[in-house]
Amino acid sequence: MRALRLTAWQSEPVLAEVEEPVPGPGQVVVRVGGAGACHSDLHLMHDFRPGMLPWGPPFTLGHENAGWVHAVGAGVSGLDVGMPVAVYGPWGCGNCARCVLGAENYCENTAAAPVPGGGGGLGLDGGMAELMLVPHARHLVPLPGGLDPVVAAPLTDAGLTPYHAVRRSWSKLPPGSTAVVIGVGGLGHLAVQILRATTAARVIAVDTRPEALSLATGLGADLAVPAQESAAGEIRAFTGGRGADVVLDCVGSDATLTLGAACGRPLGDLTIVGLGGGTLPVSFFALPYEMSVQTTYWGSRPELAEVLDLAARGLLHTTTTTFPLAEAADAYRQLAEGKLTGRAVVTPATP
C-alpha cells in the first residue's frame, strides 16, 4: 500500500510503498478516511534534528486520523469491521494514574508506551496511508451517528487541543467575560467555535490575514482584530479597559506571547497552544497580577468524545481542504506557504 513517509529529519516526506499492517492481539487496523495535515508536522520535517526527541524517522506521517475498522486482533471486542472511528492520538502506557483517567497525553510512564511521548504519526506509523495499525483498541472512539471520518479527523487534534485549553479555563469564562484567540488557523478557527458553544464569553479573534479574520467573524467572533501594534489597545478598549479573562495563543511566537500578556486581565489565563518557538519573559511587573501562564499538550480521550459530540450536533464545523493521498506532500507545501484556510485533510480511502 502507499504511505507518505518521513524518512529523515530535516527532509521532505515521500510517497512510498509499504506492507499492509496486520493486527496482533488487542490491536486494530483502521482504513483511513481522513488524516489531518498539522502545522506541527512541518516542525518534524524542517526543525528537528537527530537526538532532539526519543524517537525518529522513518515513519508514516499523520497524527489526526479517522476512518473505519478494517481488521481486529485477538481479544478485541466492541469494535466491528466497518465501524466508523476516530483515533485518539497520544499513546501512553495505559496503566499510570493519568492514562487510567484517559489522559494519555500526560502519561507518567512513557518508557512503557509504544513510543515515548509519541504515537501514530509521531514516531510510529500514522494515517497518511490507506491502512493504519492502532496498538490498542482503547485508542479508538466510535464516531457519533452521521459524523464523517473526513470531518472527524482534524477534530482529534485541531479540535481536541483547543477544547482542552478552553475547558480548563471554563471557570473564568462566565457571562461578562472575554476570551481572545490569537491565530485563526487550523486550531484557532475551532477555538472560536468551542468558546461560542461551551461558554458565555465574548470572543475576540486576532490574525494577520484578512481572510482569517473574516472566517472568525463568520464563526461567531464578536470582534476581529488585525495583528498589529494597536491590537492590545483595541482589545482593552473593547473590554472597557479590563483586558481579556482568557487568552489562547494558537501561534506561540515572541510577538503573540507579548500581545497575550499585554491584553490579559489580572487573575486571567494565558494558555500557549501553538508551537511558534517564542518565549515570554516573566518578572514581577511583566504580567498582570495573578495571570496564570501555561502550556497544554493535546487533550484526554473523554474530551475527544465530547468534541465529537459537539461536531455531530452541528456546534463545531471544521473548514477543510481535502487532498488525495497522491497529493499529500502538496498539502504540506500549501500549509507551509500559508495558502490554506482552516485544515488540510488527506483522504487515503473511501467507504
Q: For residue range 48-104, what is the model confidence (pLDDT) as tens digits?
A: 899 888 999 999 999 999 999 999 999 999 999 999 999 999 999 999 999 999 999
Q: Is 150 left (phi over 0), alpha (psi -120 to 50) or beta?
A: alpha
Same domain, 333 and 287: no
Q: Is the pLDDT of residue 127 over 90?
A: yes
> Looking up cell 479573534, which residue turns up?
205
Joined grid coordinates for residue 36: 489531518
Kindly tell me if the per-residue pLDDT of 290 is higher than 70. Answer: yes
Helices 188-198 and 160-167 pack at an angle, to 10 degrees, of: 40
Average pLDDT over residues 316-329: 93
Mean pLDDT confidence for 146-172 = 96
Among the listed residues 313, 312, 305, 278, the one whose alpha carbon sits nearest the alpha carbon of residue 293: 278
Q: Which three cell numbers stand for residue 289?
A: 497580577
User: Mean pLDDT, the chain, as a whole number?
Assistant: 95
Q: How many domains does the chain have?
A: 2
Residues 100 and 216 in one domain: no
Asked if the structure places residue 164 within a domain, the reply is yes
Residues 96 and 26 both lie in one domain? yes
Report residue 276's pLDDT band, with 50, 70 and 90 as the boundaries. confident
167 CB-near residues (< 8 Å, 6+ apart) = 198, 299, 303
- Residues 316, 317, 318, 322, Cα dihedral to 10°: 140
Distance (Å, rounded) from C-alpha 41 to C-alpha 33? 19
- Looking at residue 146, what is its pLDDT? 87
Would you state the cell numbers that stand for residue 224, as one nine-digit string? 476581529
Q: Please give the single-letter amino acid code of residue 85.
A: V
Is 351's pLDDT higher than 80?
no
Query: Residue 304: in which H helix or E strand, if any?
Result: helix 301-312
Query: What's the pLDDT score for residue 322?
Result: 95
Q: Are residues 117 and 182 in the same domain?
A: no
Residue 52's pLDDT is what?
87
Share of the chain above pLDDT 90, in %: 89
Supply 186's cell numbers: 487550523
Are residues 9 and 66 both part of a single domain?
Answer: yes
State the average pLDDT over residues 276-303: 94
Task: Give the phi and the psi of residue 255 in degrees, each rounded to 5.
Answer: -65, -40
For the full predicted model, state whether its pTM sits above 0.85. yes
User: Which is more confident, 226 or 320?
Assistant: 226
The residue range of the domain holding 235 is: 160-295
Mean pLDDT of 196-223: 96
CATH of the domain at 340: 3.90.180.10
Element (H, E) at 42: helix 39-46
In a domain, 281, yes or no: yes
Q: What is the largest CA-CA distance in the chain?
A: 61
